[in-house]
Amino acid sequence: MVEAINKINRSDMKYQTTKPIVEYKNVQKSYGDVEVLKGLNLSIYPGEKVALIGPSGSGKTTIIRMLMTLEQPTAGEIIFDGKNLWHMERKGKLVPANEKHLRELRGDIGMVFQHFNLFPHMTILQNCMTAPIQVQKEDKESARKRSIEMLEKVGLGDKLDSYPNQLSGGQKQRVAMARALVMRPKIMLFDEVTSALDPELVGEVLEVIRDIAEEGDMAMVLVTHEMDFALDVADRVIFLDNGVIAEQGSPKEVLEESNNERLQQFLHRFRN
């Protein structure tokens, strides 16, 4: 019952009464001659759960990497939390952002990677504690306490002093999520976080994402090939094709009711 209400409230946000947390404004990205994104316009709202789907090479990863400041757009603007991410003002003119500017903004953005990228020389607990202490200047005890709580939440309370190479893929990915969550981001980006996992480990990771999603207040962008999961968790599904948004809407609209031909082809491949 409570869940159902949550769900309704969340889909209400789609009606966009609040200010977006992220706005892509005519964002283009090319690698050399290859045009990956051709003028992307996309707004994501606080607390909204967006699933990004699309064929390989359609630019899904590129979209979230630009927001994580790992990749610079070729043209256009990304507005995060009301501020221009890749540009800053200097003497009344817009100039490319420097590291200091990026650091001020990216603290509210978190990301989980396909290949975990845990720090292999640190224990699980150190993996989680380091950034709150170093970046947010949180005192050690409280960072430790919060990290342990977070690791317990993802079911790894008994692994605090293990090293990443002692964990299964599913456990590693749950650590990676805990590590991102202790930073309390306003938006969290997931890049195919289950696709490097053995099939039997996918479930435990999706379960954790579902839990996070149900807490509500953090926006999430999920690049995923798990259609059932997207249908279940997302408020909005975006189908990306050839560098543009080819279809978007509620999970039901996109995954079940759309008659976009490319989308049909794409989904067909997943249903078998």
Partner 1 sequence: MTIHAIIDVFPVLMKGINITITVFLLSAIFGYLFAIIAGLCRLSHNLVVRGITSFYVEIFRGTSLIVQLFWLYYAIPMLFNVGIDNRLMAGVLAISLNYGAYMSEIVRGSILAVDKGQTEASIALNLSPFQRMRMVIFPQALRMMLPELGNYLIQMLKATSLVSLIGMTDILYHGNILRSTDLSAAPTVYLLLLLFYFIMALPLILLTRKGEQISKKGVAR
Ligand X SMILES: Nc1ncnc2c1ncn2[C@@H]1O[C@H](COP(=O)(O)OP(=O)(O)OP(=O)(O)O)[C@@H](O)[C@H]1O
Measured distance between the N- and C-terminal CA atoms of the chain, rounded to whole angstroms: 33
Segment interacting with partner 1, rule: CB under 8 A, options 13-21, 73-81, 117-125, 264-272:
117-125
Q: Which of 107, 155, 169, 249 binds partner 1 (CB under 8 A)?
A: 107
Q: Which residues bind Mg ion (CB under 5 A)?
A: 61
The footprint of partner 1 on residues 36-75 (CB under 8 A) is 68-70
**Residue 79 host element (H or E):** strand 75-80
Using the Cα atoms of residue 227, residue 228, residue 234 and residue 236 in order, give the sign of their dihedral.
positive
Query: Which residues is 35 bridged to in the sheet?
Result: 30
| DSSP strand pairing (236-241 vs 244-249) | antiparallel
Number of residues that bind partner 1 (CB under 8 A): 27
Segment interacting with partner 1, rule: CB under 8 A, options 115-123, 150-158, 244-252, 264-272:
115-123
Q: Which of 22, 23, 24, 59 binds ligand X (CB under 6 A)?
A: 59
Site string for partner 1, 229-258 (x = CB under 8 A): ------------------------------
Query: By C-beta, is 55 or 155 nearer to ligand X?
Result: 55
Compute the distance between CA of residue 230 and CA of residue 249 in angstroms, rounded to an integer: 12
Query: By C-beta, is 97 or 205 nearer to Mg ion?
Result: 205
Compute the distance between CA of residue 11 and CA of residue 236 in angstroms, rounded to an integer: 8
- The number of angstroms, rounded, from the C-alpha of 72 to the middle of its chain's C-alpha atoms is 17
Task: Establish if 69 lies at the interface with ligand X (CB under 6 A).
Answer: no
CB–CB of 156/124 below 8 Å? yes
Compute the distance between CA of residue 237 and CA of residue 126 in angstroms, rounded to an integer: 35
Please report which residue ranges of 216-252 form alpha helices under DSSP H: 227-233, 251-252
Task: Establish if 31 lies at the interface with partner 1 (CB under 8 A).
Answer: no
Task: Establish if 58 lies at the interface with ligand X (CB under 6 A).
Answer: yes
Q: Which of 110, 170, 243, 251 binds partner 1 (CB under 8 A)?
A: 110
Task: Establish if 195 lies at the interface with partner 1 (CB under 8 A).
Answer: no
Task: Establish if 56 lies at the interface with ligand X (CB under 6 A).
Answer: yes
118 binds, among ligand X, partner 1, Mg ion, none (CB under 5 to 8 A by kind): partner 1
Q: Which of 93, 121, 269, 271 binds partner 1 (CB under 8 A)?
A: 121
Helix (H, G, I), strand (E, B) or coil at 171: helix
Read off φ and ψ for residue 94, nearest 5 degrees: -85, 120
Q: Fill in the DSSP letter of residue 160.
A: T
Task: Establish if 134 lies at the interface with partner 1 (CB under 8 A).
Answer: yes
CA-closest candidate to residue 20, choices 43, 37, 1: 43
130 binds, among partner 1, ligand X, Mg ion, none (CB under 5 to 8 A by kind): partner 1
Q: Which of 21, 36, 79, 109 binds ligand X (CB under 6 A)?
A: 36
Task: Establish if 120 lies at the interface with partner 1 (CB under 8 A).
Answer: yes
Compute the distance between CA of residue 49 and CA of residue 59 in angstroms, rounded to an integer: 19
Q: Which residues bind ligand X (CB under 6 A)?
A: 31, 34, 36, 54, 56-62
